[in-house]
DNA sequence: TTCACTGCAAATCATTTGCAAGGCC
DNA sequence: GGCCTTGCAAATGATTTGCAGTGAA
């Protein structure tokens, strides 16, 4: 599996290292759209020397090389997604969870409005209440994550 | 005009004050998707006692009351838009400019995937190179704003 | 040896918070 | 008087930067 991840990086022009493989591996296995800090916390046990700087650098590198998506869906931190296929995201304002949404039509904007433009990224975010939080009603301590 | 803005705020349940009117006025007249700091810089001349705290608080209030949109299109700062009608945004990675895009179809995601969800916000961002930067090529000092 | 990768510590900087003062009803 | 708004200063916290050490080709 680690070897698969290693090749995954090489294919995307990223020199594999212990840290990079571990971070990519984490992204591919955990589809929770983690922040840099969450990844750091999860990996620093198995890689005690890991530094947050490396996690930040690596995630930025991954995003540049198209090996991961950086999501600006959360005002607080940048979230990362190892799934680079075309899809939208939903963020629950109550529990904070980010859920993937399949996309039927990507081009919402009439191409005539984009003449002369080069589009390199399209992102669509939905926010609101997820099924679970919606039905729990406002019973829970609504931490108003916003 | 100021009086119009005042009523605009009242209609949205926002108590008007000198500062709030000035900020809303700025948003309605400047469709540049400014950051809190840009608004502060623009207004602190005419309102010397204005504090950044007030600008931040006010913009957050506007966003809550639906009098403005807060855009997370820029990793660096939150941008605000006084135009609350449905539209998408394009951000040029070279010059950093944010451009409004008319939207033809809002629902890219099949509603069946959103059953049980409450959607309160939909945002769509495009990034790339704007017409101008595209044709200038990489001649300019590409500050790689990203 | 070279050069890229790593990681610590310090810096940066947008945003928030605590709190006292002022203003409006 | 009481409450909401303001604004200063300090705090917070995510991300970046400087720089020295380390390791692989």
Superfamily of domain A85-146: Ferric-uptake regulator, C-terminal dimerisarion domain (3.30.1490.190)
Interior angle at CA A143, CA A146 and CA A102, nearest 5 = 50
Mean pLDDT for chain B?
88
Nucleotide nearest to A44 (CA to C1'): C7
| Residue B20 Cα distances to B49, B50, B54, angstroms | 13, 11, 9
Task: Check: CB of residue B8 under 8 Å from CB of residue B24.
Answer: yes
Q: Which residue has the tokens 């966003």?
A: B63
3-class DSSP assignment, residue A143: coil
Closest alpha carbon to C1' of D24, residue: A17
* Residue B17, CB, strand D, below 7 Å: yes
Please identify every stretch of chain A with a pLDDT value under 50, giving residue numbers as ranges.
138-146
Scanning residues 89 through 108 of protein chain A, those with a beta carbon under 7 Å from any atom of strand D turn out to be none
Structure-model confidence comparison of residues A136 and B38, the more confident one: B38
Instruction: State whether CATH 3.40.309.10 applies to domain A1-83.
Output: no
Nearest to B117 among A78, A88, A130 (CB): A130
Alpha-carbon distances, residue A4 vs A22, A62, A86, B27, B134 (angstroms)? 12, 16, 22, 51, 38
The whole-angstrom distance between A115's CA and the closest CA on chain B is: 7
Query: At a CB cut-off of 8 Å and minimum separation 6, what does A36 contact?
Result: A52, A55, A56, A59, A77, A78, A80
Domain boundaries, chain A: 1-83, 85-146
pTM for this model (two decimals): 0.89
pLDDT confidence band for B112 (50 / 70 / 90): confident
For residues B50-56, average pLDDT: 97
């Amino acid at each position: 599996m680690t070897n698969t991840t290693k090749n995954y990086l090489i294919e995307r022009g990223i020199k594999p290292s212990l840290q990079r493989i571990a971070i990519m591996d984490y992204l591919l296995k955990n589809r929770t759209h983690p922040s840099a800090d969450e990844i750091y916390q999860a990996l620093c046990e198995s890689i005690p020397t890991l530094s947050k700087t490396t996690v930040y650098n690596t995630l930025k590198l991954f995003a540049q090389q198209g090996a991961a998506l950086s999501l600006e869906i959360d005002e607080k931190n940048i979230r990362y997604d190892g799934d680079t296929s075309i899809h939208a995201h939903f963020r629950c304002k109550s529990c904070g969870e980010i859920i993937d949404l399949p996309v039927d039509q990507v081009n919402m904007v009439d191409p005539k409005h984009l003449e002369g433009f080069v589009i390199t990224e399209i992102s669509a975010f939905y926010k609101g209440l997820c099924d679970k939080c919606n039905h729990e009603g406002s019973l829970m301590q609504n931490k108003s994550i916003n």
